[in-house]
Structure 1
Amino acid sequence: MYRIMPAGDRGLVVEFGNVIDIQTNDRVQQLKKCLREAQIPGVLELQPTFRSLMIYYDPRKISYGDLEKRVRTFDSAATSEGHARKRILKIPCCYGARFGPDLGEMEKYTGLDRDEIIAIHSSVDYRIYMMGFLPGFVYLGGLDPRIEMPRLSSPRIKIPEGAVGIGGNQTGVYPVASPGGWRLIGGTPVEFYDAGREKPILCQAGEYIRFVSISLDDYYDIRRMIVKGEYTIEILEEEGEQ
């Protein structure tokens, strides 16, 4: 089941229940795909969340009622297909060193040593459920419960670009320097947001991220390659969940 609701005079929301899981998010992503391919005149932007899709439209080109009717024609596709393949971005991450100041506290909280925490964190293909908070910030699902960690009671004033953190039952990457309360366990040299790129944001909702542990020397080598425009992220295509 799903429901369709107005969001102001230029938005329509399609909500797929109250559960955050891959099946629900698949329905969101499939509807987004169908609408994008349909190229409906007047539809301006499609913004997916964990369990809903926001559709921004121009009321001078399409009415709310007509848009709702068009959305309902994709009902069967949005409820049954899901993703046929997983697109996985392999993201290098230097755990600890100067990038993971909270690993020590995580060892005490979880009862695991840092090598175990790193091995667990880098063993999962994390689904990008949605983007938000900052341009290029990924909300990743699939964190192992053994390394879940509450947010800091007092957020840091500035977290560096590329910081990899854990907040509750989620993990993510800070695309730009900003305040934040997630526990920092590492850092990636890859730029998740670059205003100067043709496509400023590295990835999108529905894709997956696999963190690959690297050394501090590897981190700086990759940074130098990125600056020279010589680094390419490895991307895998695998069969997805049905």
Structure 2
Amino acid sequence: MTLRFEPVSETHCIVYLGEAIDPSLAESIAALAKALRAALPSALVEVVPSYTSLLLEFHPLRISRKQLERAVLEQYALLQSSQASGQTQQHTLTLPVYYHSEVGPDLDDLAASAGLAKEQVVEIHSQQIYTVCAIGFAPGFAFLASVDERIAAPRRATPRLKLPAGSVGIAERQTAVYPQQSPGGWQIIGNCPQLLFDPKHSPMSPFEVGMQVRFEPLSREQFIELGGQICLDWK
């Protein structure tokens, strides 16, 4: 893989590691971001990972763009060597989910469109291991890939005005959990009762780009016991 550098301003540049969304690419981006923060703590102001790239904000009086590019290439080479020797480790976050039409109003229609039973949709969605490819849209909102193509579904033509916190949705080949109540256009198939964004906690969200996530089905009783709430008013 060849890295591509693109200047943005006197204090920013973007490093492209690829051109298409790929879970394995997200892991490399996350590892490179972590390595750069550790290697250049006084030269970097911010490191922002995305689907295929890293946005780097740097101190121009502490490091030049050319020096930064050399440092990125050096760290990337070290990471490639570590991955080749099997020294890297991955963390998997397990999230509980109650899959049911009373918290997932699109579950029935998605199953019908896919030609599957609802139980099959739940099984397919919960057996997949996903990778956090990006974090954005809202604080703590993690874009997870890749959804099995059998249950991939487009965004709703008309977004809902208010989705409850914890709503688990699908949009094309991505899935996500809405960490807070918000508008949203994803196909909602269930709800996660776990708190996924707390500004008073450190870290504020359990998600990091590159980490792996899996979903574990809950019964209605378990969902209620964990603090989950049934939504009676979908708007």
TM over 0.5: yes
Partner of 1:230: none
Contact 1:9–1:59 (Cα < 8 Å) also in 2:
yes
Uncovered stretches (5+) of structure 1, i.e. residues with no partner: 225-242
Contact 2:31–2:210 (Cα < 8 Å) also in 1:
no
Contact 1:30–1:81 (Cα < 8 Å) also in 2:
no
Uncovered stretches (5+) of structure 2, i.e. residues with no partner: 229-235
Match of 2:14, as an amino acid?
A: V
Q: How does 1:7-86 map to 2 (within 5 A)?
A: 7-82=8-83, 84-86=88-90
2:124 equivalent to 1:124: no
Contact 1:94–1:213 (Cα < 8 Å) also in 2:
yes
More strand as a share of residues: 1
Counterpart selection for 1:187 from 191, 199, 202: 191
Distance in 2 separating the partners of 1:75 and 1:92: 35
Contact 1:17–1:51 (Cα < 8 Å) also in 2:
yes
Alignment RMSD, CA only? 1.8
SS in 2 for 1:9: coil
Partner of 2:171: 167
Q: Percent identity?
A: 32
Partner of 2:92: 88
Match of 1:68, as an amino acid?
A: E
Distance in 2 separating the partners of 1:25 and 1:152: 26
Q: Which stretch shifts more, 87-96 or 193-202?
A: 193-202
Counterpart selection for 2:159 from 140, 148, 155: 155
2:103 equivalent to 1:99: yes
What displacement does 1:23 show? Answer: 3.4
The alignment's TM-score, normalised by the length of structure 1, stands at 0.86
Distance in 2 separating the partners of 1:78 and 1:3: 17
Partner of 1:240: none
Q: Which stretch shifts more, 134-143 or 82-91?
A: 82-91
What displacement does 1:9 show? Answer: 2.8
Q: How many residues align?
A: 224
SS in 2 for 1:186: strand
Distance in 2 separating the partners of 1:110 and 1:5: 41
SS in 1 for 2:227: helix
What displacement does 1:178 show? Answer: 1.3
> Which runs of at least 4 in structure 1 moved beyond 6 Å after TM superposition?
none
What displacement does 1:97 show? Answer: 4.1
Distance of aligned partners of 1:179 and 1:94 in 2 relative to their CA distance in 1, 3 Å threshold? same
Q: Which stretch shifts more, 37-46 or 78-87?
A: 78-87
What displacement does 1:22 show? Answer: 3.1
SS in 1 for 2:216: strand
